[in-house]
Amino acid sequence: MGGEDRLVRRVCRGNPRVQPQHHRVAEWNNKAIGFISYGPHGGIRAVEHLRVMAGELMMADVRAQVSLPFATEFENYRTFKPGDYNLPVFNTMLDQVIAWSQALMHLRAEAVAG
């Protein structure tokens, strides 16, 4: 019998052996997050997965994302040389992170006070 089967049985009996890690992730709750990614295709798939994880941490991910493909943003695929055309989306992302951070400020204050 595998470990996964034992875990399923414990959960079904109402006795899971999973320790809560809330104290480790609570500091991430109610904060805004923006993503800057790079890779062969700009790191878009990685950010898709990170957005799901951010949601589980109760973080507000912003819509704007800076994506930097190797082919256009890295000289010889090694030296980082981003183009100025990235600045508008970068500034938009920062504006969104700041706005969401300010909007979530009262929730963070309530969590500290509570």
Asked whether 43 and 67 are in contact (CB, 8 A), the reply is yes
Angle made by CA atoms 27, 55, 82, in degrees to the nearest 5: 90
State the pLDDT at residue 32: 95
Asked whether 43 and 68 are in contact (CB, 8 A), the reply is yes
Q: Where are the chain's structural domains?
A: 20-113
58 CB-contact burial (10 Å; exposed 0-12 / middle 13-18 / buried 19+) = middle
Q: pLDDT of the chain along its 114 residues, tens only?
A: 455 455 444 444 444 444 445 556 788 899 999 999 999 999 999 999 999 999 999 999 999 999 999 999 999 988 999 999 999 999 999 999 999 999 999 998 888 786
φ, ψ for residue 103, nearest 5 deg: -65, -30
